[in-house]
Every structure is written in C-alpha cells, then in structure tokens.
Amino acid sequence: MIYTSRSKAFTLLEMLIAIMIFTLISIFLYRSLATLNSTNKFYGEKLSQIAYDQKLLKTIYLDLSMAVIRSVYIINQDRDTAVVLMQTSHSVHRRVMPYVGYVVRNKKLFRVESSQKLTYPFNEVNEMIVDEVGAIEHFRLYSSKTHFLLDYSSDQDPKLMKVRGLNY
C-alpha cells in the first residue's frame, strides 16, 4: 500500500492567480471611486450654482414685490450698464424701508442698500452698503402699472421673471 501525502496548503500558482484576481478587482474599484469623486465634484458645483441663482432670485423678487409704488426708477444706459433704483420694505442689512439699487457694470451685478434716497451716479454723501452679487451676462428690468418683468442671464441661460408688486 502506497500512501501519497497530499498537502492541504495553497500552491504558488494558486497564490499568484488569487493575487492577480485581487489586483484586477482593486483596479476596477479604484477607477469606480475616481469616477464617483469627479461626478460628485461636478454635481456639487452645479448644485451650488443653482443655490446661488435661487438666492439671487429670491432677493430680487422680494425687493421688487415689496417696492413702494412709483419708487422704481429704471436706467438702461447701454448694453453693459443697467441701473435700477427703488425704495422697498425688504432689507438684507436690517434697515427700515431702505433704498435699494441694482447696478450692472462690466458684467457684474451689485446690490446697493442705503437708508438715504439713492441717485445715480452715486456720490460720497450717500451712506450705503454695496454687495457684489456676482457675474451676470445680461440684466434688464421692465415695468408696467402692476408688474415687473426681469430679463437676465447669469450663465448663458436666459431667464425671465414676472413679479407683481404687493403695494400696487
């Protein structure tokens, strides 16, 4: 009777095959993780742009809808410059019945808030807070007896917003 002793351990070839399979799986998992990270970054930037647009729209909407009757003064000077002045009951800086102005210069939108009546061009006498809202391609405001129509684009995507004044 001949006994062959068969070992219960892995051979070198089996270990190499297992390491190769583990390496291939690790490479695919790493690529998937890298793709997931780049996708998250892309959608995070898009989400922050949407949040910015919503905050901008909300501020402009509240300013226009709470504007005092016949206080809105629109100056569409040229293609790159637009100015809107008004008195409103909406304040970002906790003022009572502030005077608010939107100014577009060099494709940047600024919001000006003051407790004194604003005139354009602005002078040093006016005490005001200027907030840079951000880059904007196009900004025009049109007024009727009961509504405002805002035509603007911030990222090559034109938008229209119709606002009914609450004080009309």
pLDDT confidence of residue 24: 95
pLDDT confidence of residue 5: 61
What separation in angstroms does the CA of 11 have from each of 4, 19, 24, 35, 155? 17, 13, 20, 37, 62
**Bridge partners for 84 per DSSP:** 74, 102
Average pLDDT of each block of 10 consecutive residues along the chain (168 residues)? 67 91 95 95 90 84 85 79 88 88 87 88 79 84 84 78 77
C-alpha angle 161-62-134 in degrees, rounded to nearest 5: 70
**Per the confidence metrics, is the pTM higher than 0.75?**
no
Element (H, E) at 21: helix 12-65
pLDDT confidence of residue 27: 95
Q: Where are the domains of the chain?
A: 52-164
